[in-house]
Each structure stands twice: as structure tokens, then as C-alpha cells.
Amino acid sequence: MQAFLAVFKRELKSYFTTPIAYVFLVIFLFFSGYLTFKQGFFEMRQADMRAFFLNMPLLFIFMVPSAAMRLWAEERRVGSIELLFTLPITITQAVLGKFFAAWLFLAIALALTFPMVITVCYLGEPDIALIITGYLGCLLTAGGFLAIGCFFSVVSKNQVISFVLSVVACTILVFAGMPTTLSYLSTFLPAHLVSAIENMSFQTHFESIQNGLLQFKDVSYFVLLIAGWIVAGSILLDRTKAG
Amino acid sequence: MIEVKELRRSFGPIVAVDDISFEVEKGQVLGLLGPNGAGKTTAMRMLACFLKPDRGTATVCGYDILRQSVEARRSLGYLAENSPAYSEMTVGGVLNFVCDARQIKGNDRKRALDRIVPMCSIESVYHQTIETLSKGYMRRVGLAQALIHDPQVLILDEPTDGLDPNQKYEVRQLINNMSKDKCIIVSTHILEEVEAVCSRTIIISKGRILVDSTPQQLKEEYNCGLDEVFRRITRTEFG
């Protein structure tokens, strides 16, 4: 636990001791607001945050890999991975320490969108439970994207390559569940395969949580997805850390 | 304290370390000598549990590097070839991170820092970020993190590389002072360093041990200086 906390603390601090955190937060907050109002926040004439949550997966496709790409690629490029793994720290502790630090950083970014909640509460009487499940869905989606980003950060020492691969993987997992994609797939794939693809997509589970339905199948999808990518990243890191 | 048994590691078709075996006891300073690409760094990385061997194993303070890797790493201090560290962190930040990872807390941490910072002469750069340090200071910070928990076993990969003559002298003095209570492995190209600090020398080339002796014995046996001994042994091997 101590080793996990050491990595966690170091990683979280490193976001704020470099300009990364500030650049990330400014861009994220700007686009989350811009997309909300572009979506027709005022035109809807409803005191809710649907317009805000609707575009979050699309924003995360670019923002989360940018926060994740440095996690292992930078360690391997600079060589600090040699310092890290000659300390009494296991691969699992290091991977989880970095993952949770980055996840907390993304949670901080989400928390800083609180003016949106205040605005909605000022304008009307929104369903608070719906807002809470909306944020939970965003946090789980960010965790899923982050686990994918962590994996691709292990794949290459080059941060740009890690970023591009993560964006592609996240895009596939989001767009696979879009109605247009599913209707196209249903023209040549059997119904059970289309349904399987739909269930593998982020979008389906994200939307389900956005509607206020906190179902076991949706939460377990995100938990399994995060665990799967983290385990895959750990195995790969163990093989390639000295490469 | 260190027991190496038929350690082997290859990278694709290149065999970096080829079935090496040796033991190092407490109070010994072993100099690992060899030309570039001889396998010194690979052997040290395996002993520091950073690289896994393809075959064979080793024990550090009785802990197997494969099965008890964390315990082995807890009991050793390792200085890597280029003293890699986190460039955005301050020297103090890096040392505190190492203390966190090694579970050195409270008064123990204060004592460890009070001991190691002046010992490695890094007081003046304690609040500076790693990226602003010269190569010499980077080396000293690397040495400080390797020594902070006062380990029984020290593995130092070219510890005086990049240091000026005064700093080299200080580091050699430091190694000599610690040598009585510790087991130390030093890799180097600098033969005067072997004479200054090592009680035993292993010359390796192409991953294999060619000679395991003391610097004094080598000089007597070949009836010449260590430079010439090194040339003769490694040239024969290359020839």
C-alpha cells in the first residue's frame, strides 16, 4: 500500500508541477462549456444537464488520451522507469498508482465544471439524482478511456504514437454504439452480432447511466473494461519495461 | 551476500550475459570491468531486479531476485548508468519519493536526509529541479537515492562517470569508507578506479567472465599495470 501511495502521490503532483494540468484544465473547461451551449443549452428551455453530458464521450476521446499518453511513454523515454522498478515497487502497485492518480486528476477536471451545475440550479429545479448519475457516467467513461490510454502508453515510448493509438481505440469503442453505425452494421450483420457490438460500446452504457439508470450491467461493463486494459498493460509493461 | 548462479540474458540473437556465476561477500568491493557492450550493465540490471534473466538466478542478502524481487530490492541500493530521475521534480522531491517507496518515515526520514544530503554534497541543489542539474550533480543525486536507506548491498554502474577529479576522489573515498560493512559491486571503464577502490576484479567480455582475481594479483601475474592487463585479456578475447 505504501509503494502504491508513493507512486500515486508522485504522479498526481507531477501533473501540477508541470504546465500539463493547467493547459489540460483550460482546454477541457473551455470545450465542455462551448459544446454545451452549441448543443442548444438555452434553446432546450429545460433546467437539466443533458446538453452538457451529451458531448462528454466525444470530448474525452481527445482529452483523456492526452492526459494518459505520458504515463509510461515518458518514464521509458527518460529512463526513470529504471529508478522506479529498482525500488521495492511491484508492477501492479506502479500501474495502479499511476492510473488512480490520473483518474483523480480527471475527476478534478470534471469537478471544476461545477459552475454548470450552479447555473442549472439557478435557472430552474433540476433532478439532482440525474446530475449525479451523469457525473458518475462521465467518471466511469473517463476511467475506461484512461485504462486504454495507459495500455497504449506502455505500447510505445513515443507519446504521439500512444496518443494516436488511444484516440483510435476510444473512437471505435464510442462510435460502435452510435445509432448510425448500428443501423449500417445491421444491413449485413446478423442481429445478435449487432447487439453484441452495441453492448461492447461505451456509448450504450454511458447513455443508460445518463438516463438515471444505474444498472449492474453498465457499472460492471466499465469495471471489467478498466480492469482488462490495466491487466493487459501490466503484462506488457513487465515484458517491455527494459526495452 | 550476493550469489550469482549461471545468469544468462540475451536480446534477440545477441547474448549480453552468458552463464556467469560468482559470489561477493560482505566487506568486498567487486570491480566489474569490461569493454563497451561486454554485459556489465545487463548483469547489474538483473541483480537490481530490473531485468529478468532468461536462465539462472541470483540471491541478494539471501533473497532470490526472481521469487523475492521486492525483498531483494529493499535490501540493495542501485545507481543506474545515467542516473535517471524525474526531470520536473526537485532533488528533495526525488529523495522524498524514494523515502516514500522505501517506507522511511518521520524521524527516520529526517535522519536519513540529514545524513545523505551532506554526504553526497547536494545541499546547494536540494531545491533545484533535476532538469537544471549538471551531470556531476545528477550522479550525486543518483548516489544519494541509492544510499538513503543505508543498504547492505550496493550496485553502482559507473559511479564516477561525469564527475570532475575532485568529485571522483570524494566518491572513491565514500566507497572506501562504506566498504567494511557492505558488499559493493562497481562497474567501470576507469582502471585507476579499480586500483583505488576494488578488493576484487572480474573482467567480462561478450557476456562471459574472463578473469576473477584481485587487482594486485593481476598486476603480479602479468607483471604490468592494470591498463596493460586489461588490454591483453580483452584483446586476446577479441583476437
DSSP letter at A47 equals: S
d(CA A171, CA A148): 11
pLDDT above 90: percentage of residues in chain A: 56
Q: Which residues of A touch B17 (CB under 8 A)?
A: none
Average pLDDT rounded to a whole number, residues A122-136: 89
Q: Of the candidates A81, A74, A89, which has an alpha carbon nearest to the alpha carbon of residue A7?
A: A89
Q: How far apart are the C-alpha atoms of A179 and A171, rounded to whole Å?
A: 14
Closest residue of chain B to A85, computed from CA coordinates = B50
On the question of pLDDT at B239 being above 50, the answer is no
How many C-beta neighbours within 10 Å does residue B207 have? 23
Most confident of B76-90, B102-116, B177-191: B102-116
Compute the distance between CA of residue B205 and CA of residue A224 in angstroms, rounded to an integer. 49
Contact A174, A58 (CB under 8 A): yes
| Whether A5 and B100 lie within 8 Å, measured CB to CB | yes
Res B231: pLDDT = 82
Q: Nearest 5 degrees, angle CA B121-CA B124-CA B128?
A: 115
> With contacts defined as CB-CB under 8 Å, which chain A residues touch B84?
78-83
Q: Which of B70, B73, B86 sits opposite A80 (nearest CB)?
A: B86
The whole-number pLDDT of residue B237 equals: 55
pLDDT tens-digit profile of B130-189?
A: 999 988 889 899 999 999 999 999 999 988 887 888 888 888 888 888 888 899 999 987
- Whether residue A237 has pLDDT greater than 80: yes
- Determine which of B46, B47, B49, B50 to mutate to test the interface with A (most A C-beta atoms within 10 Å): B50
Q: How many CB pairs under 8 A join A and B?
A: 67
| This prediction's pTM | 0.90
Average pLDDT over residues A79-104: 95
Using a CB-CB cut-off of 8 Å, the residues of chain B touching A241 are 50
Gap from B194 CA to chain A (nearest CA, Å): 25
State mean pLDDT over B190-201. Answer: 86
Domains of chain A: total: 1
Residues of chain A in contact with residue B82, where contact means CB-CB under 8 angstroms, are 79
Residues of B in contact with A16 (CB under 8 A): none
- For residue A143, CA distances in Å to A5, A122, A209 come to 19, 30, 15
pLDDT at B236 over 70: no
Residues B104 and A87: beta-carbon distance below 8 Å: no
Contact B121, B129 (CB under 8 A): no
Q: Are the C-beta atoms of A202 and A57 separated by less than 8 Å?
A: yes
Does residue A72 register a pLDDT over 80? yes
Q: What is the DSSP letter of A22?
A: H
DSSP state of A201: -
**pLDDT band, residue A42 (cuts 50/70/90):** confident
Which residues from chain B sit within 8 angstroms of residue A94, using beta carbons?
A: none
Chain A positions contacting chain B at CB under 8 Å are: 2-3, 5-7, 9-10, 13-14, 17-18, 78-83, 85-90, 241-242
pLDDT higher than 80, residue B86: yes
Q: Which residue has the higher pLDDT, A56 or B227?
A: A56
Instruction: State residue B56's pLDDT score.
Output: 93
More confident residue, A21 or A40: A21
ipTM: 0.90
What whole-number percentage of chain A has pLDDT above 70?
A: 100
Task: For residue B181, give the nearest of B91, B102, B77 by alpha carbon.
Answer: B77
pLDDT band with cut points at 50, 70 and 90 for residue B30: very high
Nearest Cα residue in chain A from B72: A88
Q: Per-residue pLDDT for A155 more than 90?
A: yes
B102 contacts on A by Cβ (under 8 Å)? 87-88
Per DSSP, the three-state class of A16 is helix
Q: Return the higher-pLDDT residue of B238 and A40.
A: A40
* Locus of grid cell 473551455: A30
- Give the residue from chain A lying closest to B99, CA to CA: A6
State yes or no: pLDDT of A31 exceeds 90: yes
Checking if the pLDDT of A128 tops 60, the result is yes
Mean pLDDT taken over chain B: 89
Mutation target for A interface from B95, B100, B104, B133: give the one with most A CBs within 10 A.
B100
Residues of B in contact with A157 (CB under 8 A): none
User: Which range marks the domain in which residue A164 is found?
Assistant: 2-240
Contact B73 A86 (CB under 8 A): yes
Select from B70, B87, B88 the Cβ nearest to the Cβ of A90.
B70
Mean pLDDT, chain A, as a whole number? 90
User: Does B6 or A214 have the greater pLDDT score?
Assistant: B6
Does B85 contact A82 at a Cβ distance shorter than 8 Å? no
| B84/A9 touch (CB, cutoff 8 Å), yes or no | no
Give which of B113, B87, B88 is closest to B100, Cα–Cα.
B113
More confident residue, A92 or A199: A92
Residue A243: predicted pLDDT: 67
Topology of the domain covering B1-75+152-213: Rossmann fold (3.40.50)
**What is the domain partition of chain B in residue ranges?**
1-75+152-213, 83-150
Which residue does chain A place closest to B141, by CA atoms?
Answer: A83
Cβ pair A86:B97 closer than 8 A: no
For A90-159, the DSSP string reads -HHHHHHHHHHHHHHHHHHHHHTTHHHHHHHHHHS---HHHHHHHHHHHHHHHHHHHHHHHHHHHH-S-H
From chain B, which residues contact A within 8 Å (Cβ)? Answer: 45, 48-51, 69-71, 73-74, 78, 80, 82, 84-89, 93, 97-98, 100-103, 145
How far, in Å, CA of A9 to CA of B100, rounded? Answer: 9
- Mutation for testing the A interface, residue in B67, B88, B104, B157 having most A CBs under 10 Å: B88
